[in-house]
Amino acid sequence: MSEIKNRDRILEAIDQLRRRKARPDAERICNFLLRRFGVDSQDTIADLERLVEEDIVIKVEYKGNISYRNAAKWSRFAMYNKNKEEGFTGSIYGSLNSEGTSSLLSSAVAELIIHEPDYLDFGVPGTELEKYMQEKDSVRFTKKYLDVILQRELNSGNIVKLENGNYSLADHPVPSNPNVINNADNNETVKMLKIDSPNSSQVSEEEQNQTSELNANVNVTSPKAEDVNNKNDDNMHDGKEETLETNVAASVSTEGYRDGAKRKRSKKVFFDPSDIHIPTRKRGRPVGATSKNKDKDAGKSNIAITKAETDKGFCYLCMNQGQDRRGQFEKLISCKDCTNKVHPSCIDSGKEGASSSHWQCVQCKTCAVCIETIDKGPLMVCCCCSESYHPSCHDPKLPDETRSSEFVCSRCIPPATRSYYGMDAQIDDRIPDVSGWSVEQVSKYLEEQGYPVQAAVFRDHDIDGPSLLLMKRSDVLIGLHLKLGPALKIYGQVKKLQIRQSDPALLWP
């Protein structure tokens, strides 16, 4: 992968264009690389084509024009891969460059990479792959059978085994793409749908069995979408927009596709009194948000650097890529509002207020009272509900010496025990401090408390001490898929450990 000189730059361009809600097309990508890195457009195009060949970048037709997707971040890559596999799709994402030997296993690797982009860098662990396949079909995909088809894929070169023992998609898949449509006019190669013979490739019998129900009786002709792709933005603005769009729609729809062209919408002219609200943010670039100004602003530039790093899969807190602070490989979880990522084990429960599915980085957190961010002042994060508060906004105001790691907000503590904030509430020393506990310790404790089944569930969910401290009521009652009765009981245990008090008034306000 790495020998493609502008690989990262192109991926960055695609990501940047997507963030801007601009179409990541060749023109914009070239422009980005030229402007940002001084890369010649021809070089960009050449590298782009190679990335497409290697499925690092996916070329798709969307709404009548060509777009490029970062395969590692494209949520529909799995579908794309599946379609490749099965030789079928009904959508314009449809694509088939089916090497006959590519398999469900390759798709599984790709899908796991989609779910966890860091796998792109250090591969998919065999256990994860096995788990994934067995979730699909635990009867068929026995370990023995998986070993067989895995070996087959390794032999065929579709999957490679990395030095660390993990598996990844091959950098250079066997380039036999009988169904790739070449456009002689512009020399562009588009991996598009061609479904005259969905199962004509040498897919194994087992794999065919898996896919046959979907392939049955499908016979769709490939659209020569490229014919209409030369319509570019200039055309869109030359006063012939409607005609062109109609032509696109017509040509596309006659090929069995939806009308992808977007109609020009009329301006919204109605006045709705309910629209009176605090404006979110002005359109366009924020004042002072130029790259120059960003550089001048030390705080902001730090954030910018952090985001850039985490975009590549770096932990926002420990700045490591795959390994956490303990040096162990760990999946990164993403901030629900931005691209920052962290290792769950790196999350300081008191400061960040995280749960694996709802973690929000400190830059994105807002005070539950004033809705201002950390810009206004430090935020205290409730270790029960993860809500954030400026000490001065919280009712009652928080004393300066309140430690974030121990903070429980007034919504989680009943009024009768508000003395908690006066720091005269005693921690029950009989209740252990789980902040440094491992998954095993948590699980063992729950077993000892008489919850062996729930202990196993906690172990399955990799809930260690720091994670447990961050669990919310909904995480326990819903997220663990326990029956309500046991879930409520175990929630009592969780809350007891969180606040280290056993007073029922605290546990069940």
Task: Give, for 99, the enclosing helix (H) or strand (E).
Answer: none
Contacts 24+ apart (CB under 8 A), 159-164: 159/105, 159/106, 159/109, 161/123, 162/122, 162/123, 164/122, 164/123
Smallest gap from Cβ 421 to DNA, in A, equals: 37
Tokens coding 17: 């264009």
Please list the residues that pair with 323 across neighbouring strands. 329
Smallest gap from Cβ 346 to DNA, in A, equals: 25
Residue among 146 and 249 whose Cβ is closer to DNA: 249
Q: Do residues 22 and 28 make contact, with C-beta atoms less than 8 angstroms apart? A: yes
Residue among 64 and 313 whose Cβ is closer to DNA: 64
Smallest gap from Cβ 457 to DNA, in A, equals: 25
Residue among 12 and 54 whose Cβ is closer to DNA: 12
Residue among 265 and 483 whose Cβ is closer to DNA: 265
Smallest gap from Cβ 24 to DNA, in A, equals: 6
Contacts with DNA, residue ranges (CB under 7 A): 16, 18-24, 31-32, 35, 60, 62-63, 65, 67, 69, 74-76, 79, 89-93, 233, 236-237, 241, 257-265, 267-268, 280-290, 292
Contacts of residue 500, defined as CB under 8 A and 6 or more positions apart, other chains included, come to: 427, 428, 431, 433
Q: Do residues 473 and 355 make contact, with C-beta atoms less than 8 angstroms apart? A: no
Residue among 227 and 259 whose Cβ is closer to DNA: 259
Smallest gap from Cβ 74 to DNA, in A, equals: 5
DSSP characters over 329-341 = B---EE-SSSS-E
Residue among 35 and 296 whose Cβ is closer to DNA: 35
Q: Give the 3-state secondary structure of residue 68.
A: strand
DSSP characters over 245-259 = HHHHHHHHHHTT---
Instruction: Identify whether 396 is preceded by a cis peptide bond (ω within 30 of 0).
Output: yes
Residue among 161 and 294 whose Cβ is closer to DNA: 294
Smallest gap from Cβ 34 to DNA, in A, equals: 8
Smallest gap from Cβ 393 to DNA, in A, equals: 25
Give ∠ CA 51-55-57 in degrees, rounded to 5.
55
Question: Measured over all CA atoms, what is the biggest interatomic distance in the chain, rounded to whole angstroms?
Answer: 80
